[in-house]
Amino acid sequence: MIDHLHGAAELCNLGFTCSTFHFVSIGLFSIVSESEIQDHLLQDGEVSFGRLLQRTGDTKCLIFCDKVLEASETEKEILPFEGVINLYHKRPVEAAKGARRSPDAVLPSRRQSGSSPGQRADSLVWAEVCNDLIHRVCTLFPDNFVGVCQLPQSPGVPPANCIPELRRCVEELGFVGCNLNPDPSGGYWKDPPLTDPYWYPLYEEMVRLDVPAMVHVSSSCNRNFHGTRAHYLNGDTTAFMQFLHSDLFKHFPTLRFIIPHGSGAVPYHWGRYRGLSLEERQRAMEEHLLKNVFFDTCVYHEPGVRFLTEVVPVENIIFGSEMIGAIRGRDPKTGEYFDDTKKYLDACSHLSDKELHQIFEGNARRVYPRLDALLTQRGC
């Protein structure tokens, strides 16, 4: 099973876990401030970061604290969660102007993650630090994690800037994909759309390396947009519409993107998009972009996930959940966590075993061929 897991915290990277039980979890590793952790612990009255363990049975921990990072090669057991990562203990970043050093300063630094409003030099150091952290985890637990990288995006800086870090992560660190922020300006959408030739050099490298990108915005600096509840969903809808409104995949027929949160508003407005594709592109979405664009299942209620699987072709759906999710509590109607999307899929009785396997594993292995090769090599 592949769980396309992504956390609400912005200082995240995408990674994979693969157990000997043929479970695979695609996860965003979250690094959070101590105060945020305390909030979370207090809210739930339990170490809810451990919930993924309950869910998939194999993923041990999402928050990598100092002790995990310092664990020896032989110390393979995940230690109980004990505190906040202070990345700067691992790798000094004196070179990063504006980087802040105290543990609490990790919070503002989130906005430098991926492709947020950091300056070019900060973003590069920040991406390297995060990717090295991911690689450290993958090295400690090679049977559980495979890396997906953060790119050193900054507003106004051409995405070609990201190529060396992408290449390093894939070719040297063994990563199998990347995250791509469609709005490095963090809610002001100042850079060109994803379909502009501005992005093409990065796409050429993605195609050459045969790695997909999850299109995921970072923090919102615009107070009109709540981050996880508006900017995220708007970013998903916007990216899909940009793809639909272009001939991008004529130029890049093997380029692949995953859009999170069930693709924002898209399935709910599937008729609008179907009609547009027919009207404007003179062909169905299946021909125009559904060989290249995939949706995850991070939709926080059973009717929404069922709707997604009824409307969108099964081959375009990749199982996903979130941790730390945008909503952390339990639904009083069901007693279950809102973000436990696997339960919603399990309730989709209209899906055959074959279709569920596609959603849980098959599609992700097709979309991330380097992951598939790795799992095949490992006998998964």
Place of tokens 């070179």: 95
Euclidean distance between the first and final Cα of the chain, in Å? Answer: 10
- What binding mask, one character per residue, do residues 71-110 give for a copy of itself by CB under 8 A, x or -? ----------------------------------------
Binding mask 317-336 for a copy of itself (x = CB under 8 A): ---------xxxx-xx----
CA count, 13 A, side-chain hemisphere, 178: 34
- Measured distance CA(65)–CA(370) in Å, rounded: 28
**Residue 22 near a copy of itself by CB under 8 A:** no
Q: Which is nearer to a copy of itself, 45 or 271 (CB)?
A: 271
Q: Please, which residue, 109 or 181, has the CB nearer to a copy of itself?
A: 181
- Beta-carbon contacts of 341 under 8 Å, excluding residues fewer than 6 positions away, are 297, 298, 299, 300, 305, 319, 320, 321, 322
Region near a copy of itself per CB under 8 A, out of 10-18, 30-38, 167-175, 274-282 = 274-282
Binding flag, residue 19, a copy of itself (CB under 8 A): no
Q: Cα(51)–Cα(374) distance, rounded to whole angstroms? A: 27
Number of residues that bind a copy of itself (CB under 8 A): 57
Show the beta-strand stretches assigned E in the chain.
Answer: 2-5, 12-18, 24-30, 146-147, 178-180, 213-215, 257-259, 293-296, 317-318, 320-321
Position among 114, 147, 264, 320 found at the interface with a copy of itself (CB under 8 A): 264
Query: In Å, what is the CA distance from 50 to each residue of 47, 89, 350?
Result: 6, 25, 31
Please state the closest distance from residue 71 (CB atom) to a copy of itself, in A: 34
Question: Can you tell me which of 198, 200, 252, 307 binds a copy of itself, judged by CB under 8 A?
Answer: 307
- Return the CA Rg of the chain: 19
Q: Which tokens belong to 16?
A: 């994979």
- Asked whether position 259 contacts a copy of itself by CB under 8 A, the answer is no
Query: Does 274 engage in binding with a copy of itself (CB under 8 A)?
Result: yes
Nearest to 261 by CA among 201, 225, 305, 220: 305
Binder among 338, 348, 355, 366 for a copy of itself (CB under 8 A): 338
DSSP 8-state symbol, 268? G
Contacts of residue 220, defined as CB under 8 A and 6 or more positions apart, other chains included, come to 186, 187, 226, 227, 230, 231
Cβ contact 60:144 at 8 Å: yes
Among 19, 86, 119, 222, binds a copy of itself (CB under 8 A): 222
Q: Is 189 one of the binding residues for a copy of itself (CB under 8 A)?
A: yes
Judged by CB under 8 A, the residue of 143, 158, 270, 348 near a copy of itself is 270
Structure tokens at 234: 């708007």
Which residues 230-249 are close enough to bind a copy of itself by CB under 8 A?
Answer: 230, 233-234, 237-238, 241-242, 244-245
- Of 10, 128, 322, 361, which is the active-site residue? 322
Q: Which is nearer to a copy of itself, 6 or 365 (CB)?
A: 6
322 given a catalytic annotation: yes
Residue 309 touches a copy of itself, criterion: CB under 8 A: no
CA distance 286 to 293: 10
For the annotated catalytic residues, the residue numbers are 322
Provide the binding-site residues for a copy of itself, judged by CB under 8 A. Answer: 43, 182-183, 187-189, 191-193, 222-226, 229-230, 233-234, 237-238, 241-242, 244-245, 261-262, 264-265, 267-276, 278-279, 299-304, 307-308, 310-311, 326-329, 331-332, 338
